[in-house]
């Protein structure tokens, strides 16, 4: 099963558009999928290890979508008495507006409209996250995203994404046929399953991005992650 990626075919959520009820429903659906199909558990398994009680830590979430991952992390930091300052980035203006509205009670989260490959914050972060976004890029740009993640971090990087395979393809098809039946969610979900990287392909991308001593693991429900810990900035 080969990866299918046509750069001319954009997912519906990536197309220029105003804030709409359809986009809000789609982002809500994605939040439910993240919550019940492994993404929250995956991210928290690393966050609990990297953020200690009483810590003051800076975080950036690349391609944040509705901002549910930053809110998840902010809630965890509050529970353990840590201070997290989170920048959340997305290139879709309407998505950023929705995320800001949903995060009205999270002053520790700042939202930015920007392209990952062009954005330069002029600083590094303790933790760099990129969740369920890499499959939106063609191979060469995915390598550049991984390089940017590495460059932006002074300590930790986590890149989590879908893992292409029969289980993911069939699971997404059934979910979007029976439960999440809205046109945007159905179209984007099925396209994402076809665009996802296999386990071996994601490792190859990390190698091409010159990641060294990185972790790589399969997670439940067709997910996978690669990560870096204790980055030595002097080795760049």
Q: What are the tens digits of pLDDT across the range 95-112?
A: 999 999 999 999 999 999
Which of 38-52, 86-100, 184-198, 222-236 is the least confident region? 222-236
User: Strands 215-219 and 56-62, how do they pair?
Assistant: unpaired
Residue 231 has pLDDT above 90, yes or no: no
Tens digits of per-residue pLDDT, 146-198?
A: 999 999 999 999 999 999 999 999 999 999 999 999 999 999 999 999 999 99
Domains of the chain by start residue, with CATH: 17-110+121-235 (3.40.50.150)
Q: What average pLDDT does the segment 49-53 reach?
A: 96
Q: What is the pTM of this model?
A: 0.94
Q: Is the pLDDT of residue 93 over 50?
A: yes
Which residue blocks in 81-224 are alpha helix, DSSP H? 93-102, 139-152, 166-178, 183-195, 199-208
Secondary-structure breakdown of the chain: helix, strand, coil percentages, each rounded to the nearest 5: 45, 20, 35
Pull the structure tokens for residue 22: 């359809």
CA dist 162 and 208 (Å) reads 19
User: Which residues does 125 contact at the CB level (< 8 Å), separation at least 6?
Assistant: 58, 59, 60, 87, 152, 153, 154
- Residues 11-25, mean pLDDT to the nearest whole number: 95
| Residue 235: per-residue pLDDT | 39
SS3 at position 5: coil
Q: How confident is the model at residue 57 (pLDDT cuts 50, 70, 90)?
A: very high
Q: What average pLDDT does range 213-229 have in this prediction?
A: 97
- 55 versus 236: the higher-pLDDT residue is 55
Distance CA 138, CA 99 (A): 26
Which pLDDT score, from 0 to 100, does residue 232 have? 57
Terminal alpha carbon distance of the chain: 36
Would the pLDDT of 67 be above 50? yes
pLDDT at 2: 86
Residue 149 C-alpha from the chain's centroid: 11
- Residue 126, pLDDT above cutoff 70: yes
Average pLDDT of the residues of the chain: 95
Helices and strands counted in the chain (H then E): 8, 7
Could you tell me the sign of the dihedral formed by the alpha carbons of 64, 117, 44, 79, in that order?
Answer: negative
Reduced to 3 states (helix: H, G, I; strand: E, B; else coil), residue 230 is coil
Q: Strand pairing of 56-62 and 125-131?
A: parallel
Residue 33 banded pLDDT, cuts 50, 70, 90 = very high
Q: How far apart are CA 98 and CA 24, in angstroms?
A: 7
């Amino acid at each position: 099963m080969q990866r299918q990626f046509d750069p001319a075919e954009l997912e519906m959520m990536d197309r220029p558009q105003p804030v709409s009820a359809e986009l809000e429903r789609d982002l809500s659906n994605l939040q439910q999928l993240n919550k019940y199909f492994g993404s929250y558990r995956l991210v928290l398994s690393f966050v609990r290890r990297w953020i200690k009680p009483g810590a003051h830590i800076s975080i950036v979430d690349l391609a944040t979508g509705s901002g549910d991952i930053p809110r998840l992390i902010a809630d965890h930091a509050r529970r353990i008495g840590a201070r997290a300052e989170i920048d959340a980035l997305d290139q879709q203006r309407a998505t950023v507006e929705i995320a800001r509205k949903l995060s009205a009670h999270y002053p520790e989260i700042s939202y930015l409209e920007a392209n990952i490959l062009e954005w330069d914050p002029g600083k590094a972060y303790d933790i760099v996250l990129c969740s369920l976004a890499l499959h939106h890029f063609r191979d060469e740009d995915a390598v550049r995203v991984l390089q940017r993640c590495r460059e932006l971090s002074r300590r930790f990087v986590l890149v989590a994404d879908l893992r292409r395979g029969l289980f993911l393809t069939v699971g997404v098809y059934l979910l979007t046929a029976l439960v999440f039946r809205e046109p945007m969610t159905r179209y984007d979900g099925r396209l994402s399953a076809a665009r996802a990287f296999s386990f071996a392909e994601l490792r190859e991308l990390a190698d091409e991005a010159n990641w060294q001593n990185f972790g790589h693991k399969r997670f439940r429900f067709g997910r996978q992650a690669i990560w870096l810990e204790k980055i030595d900035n002097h080795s760049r």
